[in-house]
Amino acid sequence: FQREARAASALNHPHISTIYDIDEHEGQPFIVMEFLEGQTLKHRIAGKPLPTEQILKLGMEIASAVEAAHAKGIIHRDLKPANVFLTQDGRAKVLDFGLAKLLRPAKEDATTESLTQTQALAGTLPYMAPEQLRGASVDHRSDLYSLGVVLYEMATGRLPFAAELPTALADDILHKPPPLPGRLNPDLSPRLEEIILKALEKDPERRYQSAKELRIDLDRLSA
């Protein structure tokens, strides 16, 4: 817990919630983070598509935060609208690196065994990449899949896969293509649809290979 929390506290970025301290009280570890006023992206979406300009702005901000985390060797593993906070001035702040996994141990003796052993399937099912569900090796591209789900939800007001039974939902994520977001939101730009679908590729090799690449595509479309 402390290793991951300290790694997250090293992420000094305008779109990542700042962590000020890690301590323990009566055997219970805790994190002190900045106080934020506003609402989560989950509450902002509330089942309705967001305007394209807002999707692009928030998408770039979240991608920028993820890019900074990946540069420090950290993947979030639980990106979802409930973990993205929108401040009162409209800025996105990525929250909760509590499930983050260090891609590279901070020290030689800080093995990742304890991180992966109990958190092999850590995350939130509708936002998990296919490789996470299979228990395969997870890398930064898993975050990009989750970001694709967030973009899809911002663009359509709904999840790409929404089966009620966890087994059926997992099977859909693993094997079915998502409904085209443009059919759910006719006002959606075809280029934005392409970006979302590329982020949602089931094969990590066919997905975006970096958050920077995704951010640049969103920036080009915004321009």
What is the set of active-site residues? Answer: 78
Strand 74-75 and strand 38-40: the pairing is: unpaired
Q: What are the beta bridge partners of residue 92?
A: 86
**Neighbouring C-alpha atoms within 13 Å toward the C-beta of 190:** 0
Angstrom distance (rounded) from CA 139 to CA 145: 11
| Residues 6 or more apart whose Cβ sits within 8 Å of residue 92 | 15, 41, 58, 61, 62, 65, 84, 85, 86
